[in-house]
Structure 1
Amino acid sequence: MKTYKLPVTLVIMTLLVQLLATNFSYIDSAGYVHEPGFFTVPLGIFVISGSIVRIVWLLLKPRVKKSLNR
């Protein structure tokens, strides 16, 4: 489980940042939406995608090594 510690931590932290960023958005009297944490959306997608790729890599790595050693 130690190898999955970083990707899982990154996913949890990204989800928490996304939740916090959306809590501070508001609509002003003219009807405009103000989202001060909007920049975290692409950053969060990038980090979650990287974490998922890392988890898949860690899951498939032993199988690939095993099939190459045959």
Structure 2
Amino acid sequence: MNTGLEKRQRQHVHLSKDIHTATQVGGRHGKPVILTVLAGQMQAAGYMFYLSENKVWLTDHVPVEFIRLDD
């Protein structure tokens, strides 16, 4: 939560389109933690998003100011 979501060794940050999908994907590696990305605000601020062929949203970085941790 200090630097946002970083792609690190991957080509992009991978985002799920909804909570159900995020829970399924995150559950493959233990108990998932769901973060809400304020994608609309990011897009308005000039950040780019890409939709992959398998319907995963991609971006280069999600700054911390666009992340919400839901309870």
Considering the TM-score relative to the shorter chain, is it more than 0.5?
no
> Which has the larger strand fraction?
2
1 or 2 for the larger relative contact order (CA 8 Å, sep ≥6)? 2
> Which has the larger helix fraction?
1
Q: TM-score, normalised by structure 1?
A: 0.20
